[in-house]
C-alpha cells in the first residue's frame, strides 16, 4: 500500500480549521476528501514544491478514504497516469500530498466557501443552487 498515513502540515491544519468553522463539517477526513477531489479536478499539475514542516494532523489512509478508499486510490493513480507519472509508491505518496495540500489551499482561500453551500458550489461550479 503506497499510502498508510495521511499527514497535514501546520499550515494545512490552520486552513482546515478555517474550513471547519465556515462549513460546520467537523471531521478532518471529510474536508480532506473534498480538498483532494477539488485538486484532482484542476487540469494543471500541482506545483512540485516540498510539502514539509511539522505535521499536525494525521490519520490512516483508511480513515481518510473510508469505505471508498480504493476509489480515492484509483483516482490518484488515474491522475498520475494522465500526468505521465510512474505509479511507484513514492510517486503516489508525493502526488497525494501535493494534491491534498493544494486542494486545502484552494478551498480555504476561496471567497465563495463561506458555508457548506459555498463548498458544494466550489466543488461543482456548474451547480446553480
pLDDT value at residue 127: 57
For helices 89-109 and 28-41, angle between their N-to-C axes, nearest 10 degrees:
100
pLDDT band at 128 (very low <50, low <70, confident <90, very high): low
Structural domain boundaries, residue 88:
5-123
pLDDT tens digits for 51-82?
666 778 899 999 999 999 999 999 999 999 99
For residue 43, the domain's CATH number is 1.10.1220.160
User: What burial class does residue 88 get, using C-beta atoms within 10 Å of its C-beta: 0-12 exposed, 13-18 middle, 19+ buried?
Assistant: exposed
Per the domain annotation, does 129 fall within a domain? no
Per the domain annotation, does 24 fall within a domain? yes
Per the structure, the count of domains in the chain is 1
Per the domain annotation, does 128 fall within a domain? no
pLDDT tens digits for 94-125?
999 999 999 999 999 998 899 998 888 887 76
- Residue 109 grid cell: 482561500
Per the domain annotation, does 76 fall within a domain? yes
Task: Tell me how far apart the alpha carbons of residues 81 and 76 are, in angstroms, rounded to a whole number.
Answer: 9
Per the domain annotation, does 72 fall within a domain? yes
Q: Residue 45 has what DSSP assignment?
A: P
CA-based nearest residue to 75, from 116, 33, 114, 107: 33
pLDDT value at residue 2: 80
Task: Tell me how far apart the alpha carbons of residues 93 and 1 are, in angstroms, rounded to a whole number.
Answer: 10
Percentage of the chain lying above the pLDDT 70 cut: 91
pTM of the model: 0.90
Amino acid at each position: 500500500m503506497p499510502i498508510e498515513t495521511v499527514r497535514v502540515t501546520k499550515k494545512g491544519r490552520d486552513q482546515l480549521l478555517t474550513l471547519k468553522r465556515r462549513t460546520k463539517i467537523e471531521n478532518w477526513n471529510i474536508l480532506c476528501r473534498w480538498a483532494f477531489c477539488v485538486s484532482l479536478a484542476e487540469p494543471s499539475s500541482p506545483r512540485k514544491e516540498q510539502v514539509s514542516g511539522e505535521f499536525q494532523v494525521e490519520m490512516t489512509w483508511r480513515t481518510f478514504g473510508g469505505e471508498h478508499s480504493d476509489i480515492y486510490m484509483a483516482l490518484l493513480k488515474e491522475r498520475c497516469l494522465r500526468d505521465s507519472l510512474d505509479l511507484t509508491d513514492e510517486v503516489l505518496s508525493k502526488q497525494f500530498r501535493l494534491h491534498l495540500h493544494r486542494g486545502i489551499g484552494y478551498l480555504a482561500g476561496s471567497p465563495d466557501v463561506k458555508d457548506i453551500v459555498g463548498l458544494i458550489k466550489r466543488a461543482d461550479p456548474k451547480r446553480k443552487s
